[in-house]
Structure 1
Amino acid sequence: MAETETVVDPQPSKEEEEAANGNEEHMPDVQKPSDDSDSDSDSDDETQEKAQTEALELELYNNPSNYDSHVQYIKLLRKQGDIDKLRQAREAMSALFPLSPEMWREWAKDETTMCSGEDAFLEVEKLFEQGLSDYLSVALWCDYLNFVQEYDTSVRECSTIGISKARNLFERAITAAGLHVAEGCSIWELYREFEQAIVLTIEETDSEAREKQIQRIRNLFHRQLSVPLVDMTSTLLTYKTWEADQGVTVDVNSSKCDGLPSHFVSAYQRALGMLNARADFEEKISKKDVDDSEKLKEFMTYLKFEQSSGDPARVNILYERAITEFPISSDLWLDYTRYLDKTFKTSKIVRDVYNRATRNCPWVGDLWVCYLLCLERCHASEEELSSVFEKSLQCTFSSFDEYLNVFLTRVDELRRRISASTQVEDGINYAVIRDIFQRASDYLSPHLKNTDSFLRMHSYWAHLESKLGKDMIATRGVWESLLKISGSMLEAWQGYIAMEIEMGHINEARSLYKRCYSKRFTGTGSEEICHSWVRFEREYGSLEDFDLAVQKVTPRLQELHLFKLQQENQTVGAPTDERENLVRKNLREKRKPVSSSMDEQSPAKRRKDLDQKNNKAYGNDKGHGRHLAEANEVAQVHDSKADSASTKETKNHSPRKPVIYSDQCTAFISNLSLQATDKDLRSFFNDVGGVGAIRILTDKDKRPRGLAYVDFSDDAHLAAAVEKNRQSLLGKRLSIARSDPQRGRGKKTAGRSSKFDRGEMNSEVSVESSKGRRGPQPQSAGQGHGDDVQLIGKNTFAMPRNVRALGFPSRDKPQSGEAKELGDENPKSNDEFRKMFLKG
């Protein structure tokens, strides 16, 4: 092998193609002058390529699992012709990833150019075998077959051993890709050409051997034409021509089967019908300008069709074609492996496919689980099972439940093997199971604590410690370790107690009840454990034990009941101060808006408010008070009629009282995912406990605003909830703080009403003026009778205090005529208004 020879595989230029075709005489015989700029350009390119190579080497050193960097690095080394580095880069990548058929063909081609000697031939042959194990590729099979015929001496010389080797290889290729509808005919043609070449090596005098070889070729034609492949008509004409050369009378120009054996004709017609039935599917999956998702969908439709035909070999070939097109489609791999499990079960082909599936999609936990089960069905060795299990734990799954599933699958396999075996085989004992459980607990406890899946794992672990390990101390140790991690989970205590009762350990179960009856559990868990203890003593304990349990749980239940009533009063009780409610409503982002319009008040309510405002405006003037009392008596007659009418009207349409939230022990949550639900929040605070009502804020169109309030049973639970601030829920970091309704309610500004503090309008006055009422208008606090400012309308609060709104009269000047009756004067024009300001 020449060490200095470089690998060059660029696309030839047009001039190079002409030179290769013998067209050198058409090229001008002129020597191009050398140019310093060309050499400088070449130097710059080399410097740039070297920098790129070093950058890729550093990237692969830091991140060897970067697939794209491997591909770019190999392309760059191949362009530079660095054989040693190129070979090392390819080997490193193939150890981590399956290579595409194109990369395998390039690698084999590069190594073939340096092939010299038997050792080199074996290395290239090994490369072809590796490449064919990754993906189905007819082109790679053809390269392999041509390579063997050219470089294997025994095959080239048509020795008995060489012919046998070549035929075995051709039969493997036919089995692997001979049913490929679009490309399989290439392998059949190579096979026929090889057999026809053997005829030339047989002596004319050996008629028996010659006739036997001719019959072998005829059988190959018959086999090929009984398979639905493209260009079947062309293959038929080739076959008829060959038969004519052998002395058979056939019409070589006709596509009909006249003069051919009847069994061959029926097989050919059946294959032609199968090809026609698949022509539409083949056309759809062979389109180049189709989106990948659409193309994959067409493959799945084609697969359903093939599965309905009931030929597993054809289904298998089509799955391989789809995998080659979409090597990292996890759904496709899962569908493929499920089909193989159902069809072949323990065949070696199933194990090989699972191995390839986990190499292409290592992030799918279900594939690893099914792989372990497949190995168990095939009675794989403990070494292979352990190796696959350890590889799976090095992968990155999308959820921790997938890791748990892999751990438990390995435990299941070991349990079945130990239970079924009468003697310890391959060094397997229960200590291996205990080690796997411990690794699972250490790795998953930070992520799955207080979950049902974590509880089930420890329950399973404790069961095996008791049944297989025969160690009660270790069994209790499993439960104690779970309580240390998830002690606030009621189900953990219940499972521990149930195990002790099942095994007849009554005193141990009683001691567990004594440890946990006073603990605080979520929901009604605290009450439930108390009642459970009493039931336990009723069924298993003595009278003294029963009395002790009742004595212990009674004050605890009373305490829980009282606490529950306090929480209900805090959340349901409504404050009596209406102004307090309005302020809280605004501070709490108007969760339950309450209308303050006088139109929604009853006449009696409006009269009462009016009396209070008039008394405040006129002070303790008894005369005014007497006149107002007389006016109110008259108004009562009118209001009583209105009240009776409104009572009838509102019997069927009484407004629903707004729910008032006190927020005494509430967490305010912001930056909440818009997809989050009450269930998500409750699950998020499950480890904290004490969760009460949950209120997710929405806008007027009922769309989530990313805000929520969560009530807790007491301050301890609330403090624990606030500690979860900045933790993620549904991909968003939550902002959690204690809700404080009093925040932002500063002191009222002197001389200004609370409504103006909140930026609200004097809607009562505007409503009455819109109805044309002339009664005495209420004045705002701190405003005397002589002020010219009249706060009437929507925007008058922002006007200067020495300017009254246009079009409204002054109460200091008497009104006359029509203006007096209307309670208004003619509005000033723009010019009059301008002159008024100029005079001022």
Structure 2
Amino acid sequence: MFSVQPQSCSSCNVNCVRSLNHQPVCVQLQCIRKQRLKFHLLPAKWSGPITRSHIDRHYRIHSNVSLSVGTGAVPVEHDKANVNTPCAFLQLSINAFDYNCHVDLIKLLRQEGKLHRLRKARQKMSELFPLTEEIWLDWLKDEIRLTEDESDREKVYELFERAVKDYVCPEIWLEYVQYSIGGMGAQGGIERVRSIFERALTAVGLHMTKGASIWEAYREFEIVILSTVQPPPGSAPSQEQQELLNAQLERIHTLFRRQLAVPLMDMEGTYAEYSDWADDGVPEMVTRQYRRALQQLEKGKPFEEALLVSEPPKLAEYQAYIDFEMKEGDPARVQIIFERALAENCLVPDLWIKYTTYLDRQLKIKDLVLSAHERAVRNCPWTMGLWKSYLLALERHGADHQTVTDVFEKALNAGFIQATDYVEIWQSFLDYLRRRVDFSKEWSRELDELRAAFARSLDYLKQDVEERFSESGDLSCTIMQIWARIEALHCKNMQKARELWDSIMTKGNAKHANMWLEYYNLERSYGDASHCRKALHRAVQCTSDYPEHVCDVLLNFERVEGSLEDWDAAVQKTETKINRVNEQRARVAEKEALQARQEEEKAEHRRKAKADKKGQKKSQKVNRTGDKRKADDEYEEEWGEDAGIDEELFNTATEELMETESGLFGRRAPPRKTEPPGFRKNQRASSEAPQQPQDVSKEQRIDENCVFVSNLAFNLDDPEGKLRALFQGCGTVQQVRPVFSMNGVFRGYCYVQFEDRLAVPEALKLDRKEVDGRPMYVSPCVDKNKNPDFKVFKYKTAMEKHKIFISGLPYTCTKETLEDLCKQHGTVKAIRLVTNRSGKPKGLAYVEYENEAQASQAVLKMDGSMLENFTLSVAISNPPSRKMEDKGVPSRLLGAAMPRQPQGARGKGRTQISLLPRSLYRQSTPDAKAENGTVSAPHTTETDGVHGGPGTTSPDTQSKSLSNEDFARMLLKK
């Protein structure tokens, strides 16, 4: 072995790079897991560190692909047409758990005819994964062709035994029995064939569609044996030959009777064949069993037909079939339908849990139960519940200690997705070890093993689990609490129990009253009064969540146990604690009240600023030439901000319009009643005064019987009639009030008022319903002037482990297409495609599953998959937290653009670049007006930051100089 000096690893920055068989590798466990550097990357005499460039260069040379940056062990997906054998071997050396790469390698080696390497590749894959029916059949057929002598046949028999353990497959059993018939000439060969046939009938003989093939093969075999024991024609059989002949005939009769009692497809042909074969006709008992089986067949045919026409994996159809068989109550038929379902849905943990639970509670057959549990954890190793039930099943059926320990060690390496999963699997194993201990003995090896396991579990959670998940998963120290109680109750070792509780309290649990009370109860049951008193005094000192309760417990304890001095000390300590707590609560309440007042003042300031800005905007809009309205203003307006125009504001705007001068050309003529684009006659008919804004009073808007409808199309035809018909199913509609502009154009929102408030929740359910190609927004009717921060968001913004978030979807993806894709991994409860305001998809979706396990399975299987040449990104739903933005006066940030220029009488210019030097720029104030109260002339410049320009500056401002206090007040107003 070539020796290399330790070098610094580029992945973990630890001096741990060594040479293993001339292969520089990092022996740190975390680095091996990440990169799996088990292939020759560098020259034998290389003494430097392994870098990303070495891996990429070697990978490109051999496979024309590169590793994805940042993953360390996941190769970029490549075209299967370019996959070759060295590339596949290299990829597996990086990630041995790449299932598809194993399949590709086996196909390549089979095409190349490299049988020895092919056998090793299959063996390696079978150790890591259960193999499918197709892979097993190809392997078995290849090995059968290579069989030369009896020793080779025994190896094939062993391979068949492994194959039938993964899944229940009729085709594999049929191949097995046919192969065994070829060895019937060996010693004991006929009995071996019959034994394999009986096992096949037990496994798949009840398969309604494919079980008949095993029965027919078994009968044909026995008929061949019958021909060998019959005497030659014309000769009389001896007594021994007659006994053999009668026994063989009885075997065939028995097979016919057994098959006709089982509901199988095309069993009418079997009954006719038996009628022809039997000399004395079909017995009455067999006929009754046959008719009963026909009735069962008719009950099961609808489910079989549903399986026949549905697409894989047919989970819903199998679930319905399983429920039917469980109601029927035949354990053998329940078992076969479970096995059929698992053969096509092997990666569904809930199905395995349901099957193993049924076996544990109903059949309780050791070999059958343990085999199912073992296959369950091989197929879904990431599911902690399956490992937990496996450990219980091993203990329940008396498995030896080493077997249970080995299974537990495999569970620790299974790669659970949550820290709490490791805590639960440790608890299950510790429970098993505790049940092995005989506590009547003062010392035993099992007790030492239990204590060592407790200590190891704490180290494992602190090191391995915290390193991976940034948390131990056991915040309340449940494992340490159980250990302390065992030491106190069974071992009478209160000293050790107190040490454990001291450690528990130092892990951030001292502020919780329930933890101190748990410790106090332990001392009360197995300790003494002095330690109880000490624990309660510490609890009063440290508890912050429920101090009153702890104080009551201390006082009640002293009433029963303490002296007068103890009582006085307890009263003094509790009073001091309560007074301190009350002071803290008062300070917190005062602080919260101050914050509330400040927020109220800010909200009031924002409302005033918004009202001033709104009035200023209306004044500018009235004085603009033409009647064209900006479309972006309509989109930005919300129903609580500019939904209705007050009568007073409208009158003021009208007076200003009458007094506005247009500079050189005198007074502006009143606008013509021209119809804007998109205006329809029915809009004029629905509004009594199309040239005037509707008077939507606050009393009408703040109505608990009313909902606000927005995001409607501006050119919606007859909005009042359409919305009345749409909301009629929610309750009696009293009034529909669409809002129109001054020019009679529908503004895209309205109010719907019901006679009964109970109709409002039903109306809110129509939120996001599509109306003329756009999603209609339905929200409660709330006055935003009084509730400026009110927002309606109907979806959760925290992590939802049963829901997944999918991005990268093609824009043409429909809800049905996505449901077909997602239901392969579990039961889909709801799907939400995210769209913009116009109803166009954004390539995002949320999919809700029935439970967390199904969502986790969907993330594992769908992340990185392709849909219509789009790569999907799938993760557990965890939207980023929404930070509330301060809507007050915006502050200038470093590197931000210049403040927005105020608009003049001509509106927004084509160029928005400020040509004024920053030193001369002055921020506009919303209160600045021309002296005469009118808008400045068009030729007046706006570079001074006020609408009136230099010509409208107040004479007081011109004549009076400003002091430092004036400048300070100006800055504070900003």
SS in 2 for 1:333: helix
Q: 1:453 to 1:362 in 2, by over 3 A?
A: same
Query: What residue in structure 1 maps to residue 515 of structure 2?
Result: 492
Are the aligned partners of 1:346 and 1:377 in contact in 2 as well (CA < 8 Å)? no
Task: After superposing the two structures, state which structure 1 stretch, 326-335 or 449-458, moved more.
Answer: 449-458
Look up the match of 1:61: 93
CA contact (8 A) 2:391 2:428 kept: yes
Match for residue 337 of structure 1? 356
Distance 1:213 1:518, change over 3 A: closer
C-alpha contact 1:404 1:440 (8 A) present in aligned 2 = no
1 CA distance for matches of 2:554 and 2:902?
Answer: 56
2:577 to 526, 546, 553: 553
- Which of 199, 202, 211 is residue 226 of structure 2 equivalent to? 199
For 1:408 and 1:135, the matched residues in 2 are separated by 31
Distance 1:356 1:736 in 2: 48
The separation in 1 between residues aligned to 2:381 and 2:892, in whole angstroms, is 58
Shift of 1:93: 0.8
1:175 CA displacement: 1.2
- Note closer, same or farther for the CA distance 1:189–1:528 as it changes in structure 2 (3 Å cut): same
Residues 601 and 410 of structure 1: CA distance in aligned 2, closer, same or farther (over 3 Å): farther
Instruction: For residue 401 of structure 1, report the CA deviation from its aligned partner.
Output: 2.5
* Corresponding residue of 1:164: 191
Aligned-partner Cα distance in 2 for 1:563–1:601: 46
> 2: distance between equivalents of 1:413 and 1:461?
13
**Is this contact kept in 2: 1:537–1:549, CA < 8 A?**
no
Contact 2:436 2:446 in 1 (8 A): no
Partner AA of 1:676 in structure 2: T
* Cross-structure match for 2:450: 430
| 1:573-595 deviation line (CA, Å, top 9, x unaligned) | 367799745479899x9999899
1:789 maps to what in 2?
Answer: 936
Alignment partner for residue 97 of structure 1, among 129, 132, 140?
129
- Is 1:744 matched with 2:929? no
Which residue in the other structure is 1:392 paired with? 411
Q: Distance in 2 between matches of 1:530 and 1:600?
A: 63
Residue of 489, 507, 518 corresponding to 1:467 = 489
In structure 2, what is the Cα distance between the partners aligned to 1:125 and 1:679?
49
1:122 to 141, 154, 170: 154
CA distance in 2 between partners of 1:596 and 1:203 (Å) = 101
**Over aligned residue pairs, what C-alpha RMSD do you find?**
4.8
Over residues 694-717 of structure 1, what are the superposed CA-to-partner deviations in whole Å (9 max), with x where a residue is unaligned? xxxxx99xxxxxxxxxxxxxxxxx
Q: Shift of residue 86 of structure 1?
A: 0.8
Of residues 241, 245, 270, the one that matches 2:292 is 270
Cα distance 1:427–1:677, how it changes in 2: closer, same or farther (>3 A)?
Answer: closer
Task: Tell me which residue corresponds to 1:13.
Answer: none
Q: 2:178 aligns with which of 136, 143, 146?
A: 146
- Provide the C-alpha distance between the structure 2 equivalents of 1:371 and 1:553, rounded to a whole number of angstroms: 50
Q: Residues 453 and 562 of structure 1: is their aligned pair in 2 closer, same or farther, counting only changes over 3 Å?
A: closer
CA contact (8 A) 2:606 2:888 kept: no
**Alignment-mate amino acid for residue 455 of structure 2:** D
Spell out the pairing of 1:49-88 with structure 2 (5 A cutoff): 52-88=84-120
Instruction: Answer with 1 or 2: which has the greater Rg.
Output: 1
Q: What is the rounded CA distance, in whole Å, between the counterparts of 1:62 and 1:678 in structure 2?
A: 33
Letter in 2 for 1:566: E
- Map 1:720-739; keep pairs closer than 5 Å: 731-734=878-881
Give the distance between the partners of 1:200 and 1:350, measured in 2 at CA. Answer: 41
Q: Quick check: which one's helix share is greater?
A: 1
CA contact (8 A) 1:362 1:392 kept: yes
Q: Look up the SS of the partner of 2:109 in the other structure.
A: helix
Q: Which amino acid aligns with 2:130?
A: P
SS of alignment partner, residue 583 of structure 2: helix
In structure 2, relative to structure 1, the CA distance for the partners of 1:412 and 1:297 (3 Å cut) is same
Q: Which runs of 5+ in 2 are unaligned?
A: 1-79, 232-236, 614-635, 653-696, 705-781, 802-835, 838-874, 894-898, 906-925, 953-974
Deviation string 1:437-459 (CA, Å, 9 cap, x unpaired) is: 42454255686979886343332
* TM-score for both structures, normalised by structure 2: 0.54
CA distance in structure 1 between the partners assigned to 2:437 and 2:483 by the alignment: 15
Could you say which residue in structure 1 is the equivalent of 2:244?
209
Inter-partner Cα distance in structure 1 for 2:175 and 2:492? 61
CA-CA distance at 1:655 after TM superposition: 9.6
Give the CA deviation at 1:567.
2.1
The 8 Å contact of residues 200 and 214 in structure 2, kept in 1 or not, is answered as yes
Distance 1:498 1:758 in 2: 72
Residue type at the aligned position of 2:454: R
The alignment status of 1:242 with 2:277, answered yes or no, reads yes
Deviations 1:551-598 (A, max 9, x none): 6425523431331332242134367799745479899x9999899999
Amino acid at match of 1:368: W
Distance across 2 between alignment mates of 1:729 and 1:132: 36
Name the CA distance, whole Å, in 2 between partners of 1:146 and 1:582: 87
Q: Structure 1 CA distance, aligned partners of 2:138 and 2:799?
A: 57
Rounded to whole Å, the distance in 1 between the matches of 2:885 and 2:533 is 40
* Alpha-carbon contact 1:354-1:371 (below 8 Å) kept: yes
Write the deviation string for residues 526-554 of structure 1: whole angstroms up to 9, x where unpaired: 56556665565555541342254146425
Q: Deviations over 1:321-377 (max 9, x none)?
A: 111122112221111112112211353211110111111111111111111111111
Residues 245-260 of structure 1: matches in 2 within 5 Å?
248=279, 259-260=281-282
Determine which structure has the larger strand proportion and give its number. 2
1:675 has 2:762 as partner = no
Change (3 A) 1:382 1:591: farther
Q: Which amino acid aligns with 2:199?
A: R
Q: Deviations over 1:386-418 (max 9, x none)?
A: 111111111223333222221111122222221
Could you say which residue in structure 2 is the equivalent of 1:809?
none
Q: 1:595 to 1:457 in 2, by over 3 A?
A: farther
Q: Is the CA contact 2:147–2:153 (under 8 Å) kept in the aligned structure 1?
A: yes
CA distance in 1, matches of 2:117, 2:794: 50
- CA distance in structure 2 between the aligned counterparts of 1:562 and 1:303, rounded to whole angstroms: 62
> Aligned partners of 1:596, 1:230: CA distance in 2, in Å?
70
Partner of 1:724: none
1:679, CA displacement in angstroms?
12
Give the distance between the partners of 1:495 and 1:507, measured in 2 at CA: 16
Rate the CA distance shift 1:211–1:785 in 2: closer, same or farther, 3 A.
closer
Partner residue in 2 for 1:458: 480
- Residue 487 of structure 1, CA deviation: 3.8
For 1:280 and 1:68, the matched residues in 2 are separated by 35
Residue of structure 2 in register with 1:186 after alignment:
213
Q: Unaligned regions of 5+ residues in structure 1, if any?
A: 1-47, 250-258, 607-645, 662-669, 681-698, 701-727, 747-753, 762-778, 805-840
- CA separation in 2, counterparts of 1:758 and 1:488? 59
Task: Classify 1:511/1:81 alpha carbon distance in 2 versus 1 (closer, same or farther; 3 Å).
Answer: same
For 2:583 and 2:152, the matched residues in 1 are separated by 86
SS of alignment partner, residue 286 of structure 1: helix
Name the % identity: 29
Q: CA deviation at 1:484?
A: 2.6
- 1:174·1:188 contact (CA, 8 Å) conserved in 2? yes
More off after superposition, 559-568 vs 533-542: 533-542
Question: Which deviations, in whole Å up to 9, do the C-alpha atoms of 1:277-299 show, x marking residues without a partner?
Answer: 22222222123xx2336x22222
Residue of structure 1 in register with 2:432 after alignment = 413
Q: Work out whether residues 673 and 729 of structure 1, in 8 Å CA contact, stay in contact via their aligned partners in 2.
A: no
Note if 1:364 corresponds to 2:408. Answer: no
| Helix, strand or coil at the partner of 1:318 | helix
TM-score, length basis structure 1:
0.62
Query: Does structure 1 residue 283 correspond to structure 2 residue 305?
Result: yes
Q: Which of 392, 402, 408 is 2:421 aligned to?
A: 402
- In structure 1, the partner of 2:828 is none
How far the C-alpha of 1:214 sits from its partner, in A, is 2.0
